[in-house]
A = this chain, B = another copy of it.
Amino acid sequence: MIDIDRSAPSDRPLRADAVRNRELLLDAAAAAFAAQGADVPLEDIARSAGVGIGTLYRHFPSRDSLVEAVYRHEVDVLCESADRLLDSLPPDQALAEWMQLFVRHVATKRGMMSALKAMMAADATLFDQTRARAVAAATKLLDAGAAAGTVRADVKGADLLRAVGGICMSTDQERSDASSRLVALLFDGLRHGASSAPPLATASAPGSRTSG
């Protein structure tokens, strides 16, 4: 379920060391892009991943392909975490956590944004596919909350994504705490109007999220 067939183009499963290095590279690249922007030297990324530059180029023949892979990987992680949160928390809390996770993911992708935008303009499927996955994850969380009666049922996954995404985009860089607060506010709105129980009584432990 979490084991996703990453980019193996139907030929043959990657060798174990190749899979490991690919993950190391994606992690290092995400960190480097977040810290230094999309222009960071590829050799730096290879070094901080602990692999040679040749290995990087074998996995990602161009800078763009690396940026794209990092982005898809981040979306993967975000969507998988929706399932994980739903397994371990009540639906409304899972939703709240996921929305905050979303904010943090966007914040770390700031350095890549201009490169990403250009790539999405050139290849709309990149945008469509990742968006569809994120919408699916959001829908799952919303549905679970609606079924439990702790989240209002008249909000679609696409709407939620648009709202949270919009908040993240409109608040200036270096201020993801502002995004975080606004998204928490949005979440409170989602709880109001839930069908079965009075909104604030449903969360058994009155969370620290909305305080302050």
Contacts and interface: CB of A to CB of B under 8 A. Distances in A.
Interface string A89-124: 000000000000000000000000010011001000
Interface residues of A, number: 4
> Per DSSP, are chain A's interface residues mostly helix, strand or loop, or mixed?
helix
A114 B117 CA distance: 8
A118 B116 CA distance: 11
Copies per complex of this chain: 2
A144 B163 CA distance: 44
Contacts of A121: 114
A121 B114 CA distance: 9
A106 to B, nearest CB: 15
A115 to B, nearest CB: 9
A121 B117 CA distance: 12
A114 to B, nearest CB: 4
6 closest pairs, A vs B, by CB? A114-B118, A114-B121, A117-B117, A114-B117, A114-B114, A117-B118
